[in-house]
Amino acid sequence: MKWVLDEHMTKVMLEDFVASLDSKGPKPLPHLTELIGCLTRSYYARYDPLPINPQTALIFVMGIGLEEALLRPHKEHKSGEVDGIYYEADFLTYRDTVGELKSTRVSAKKEPEDFPETWTKQLLGYLKCLDRNEATLAVFHALGSYNPPFPALKVWHGIASPQEIEDNWAWLQERKTIYLDHVARGEVPKQFTYNEPWMCDNCEYLLICQAKESIERLRKERE
C-alpha cells in the first residue's frame, strides 16, 4: 500500500473530540480542581479560555481511554457540594475507597512523595467531601522506568489522618475565598502569585502572564 499523511482528517478528529468536551458546559463554581491548581490559569480557563491545542486534546484522550479501560467497571461517580466547594470524585468498588487515576511521564521508580502535591490535595479534598479517610491512587507511568518494558501501572493505597484532611480543607477554603473575590470583581488573579513554579511549565497561558508581568514592571519603572 502507498500511504499519504492525511492532516485534514487528523484535524477533524481532534476538533470533534474537543467539541464533545465543550458540549458538557462549565463546571459549577468553584470546583475543587480549580482551587488546587494555579488560580490564574483556572480563571482564564473558565472566563477567557484559549482553544485547546492538539497536544492537550491528546492528553485528554489518553486519560479518558485509560479510565474507560481500567476503572469504568469498578467505579461509582460521586458529585456534590460541601461548604461552598463543588466536587466530582470516583468511588472505587474494589475496596470501597475514594479513587483517582493519573497518567504521567514520571519514572515508575518514583513513589507518592515524589508526585505533584496537587494529587494529594485533590484526594484529601475528596476524602473530606465523602467523609472517608482511605484513598486509592492508580498511576499509569507512560514511559515506565525509562527502560523496557513500557509502560507501567502502579496502584497505591493511602490512609489520611483527620488532621491532614482538615488542614487541607482549610487551605481549600482560603483558596475559595481568594478565587471568588477575583471572580466577583471580574479581575484575573495576579500572575505568578497563586501557583507553584512548576505549574507554569507548558501552560498555554504562560505568554499572557509574562506579557502582563512585563507591562506592570514597565509601568512601575515610569512612576
**So what's the pLDDT on residue 132?**
93
Mean pLDDT check: name the lowest of 3-17, 60-74, 131-145, 163-177. Answer: 60-74
Strand 97-104's sheet: what is its strand order? 75-82, 85-92, 97-104, 134-141, 152-159
- What is the C-alpha to C-alpha distance for residues 172 and 37, in angstroms, rounded to an integer? 11
| Ordered domains of the chain (ranges, CATH) | 29-222 (3.90.320.10)
| Mean pLDDT for the chain overall | 90
Q: Which pLDDT tens digit goes with each residue over 46-60?
A: 999 988 877 788 888
Position 179 scores a pLDDT of 98
Instruction: Note the pLDDT tens digit of each residue in 137-191.
Output: 999 898 888 887 788 889 999 999 999 999 999 999 999 999 999 999 999 999 9
Q: Both ends of the chain: CA-CA distance in Å? A: 68
Residue keyed to cell 458538557: 24
Quickly count: other Cβ atoms within 10 Å of residue 13's Cβ: 14
Which of 83-87, 168-172, 186-190, 215-219 bottoms out in mean pLDDT, i.e. has the lowest?
Answer: 215-219
Cis peptide bond upstream of 149, omega within 30: yes
Candidate from 96-100, 116-120, 130-134, 189-193 with smallest mean pLDDT = 96-100
Across 207-212, average pLDDT: 96
Report percent pLDDT > 90 for the chain. Answer: 57
pLDDT tier at 23, thresholds 50, 70, 90: low
- What's the CA gap between 26 and 13, in Å, rounded? 22
pLDDT at residue 221, rounded to an integer: 83
pLDDT at 169: 98
Band of pLDDT at residue 14, cut at 50, 70 and 90: confident
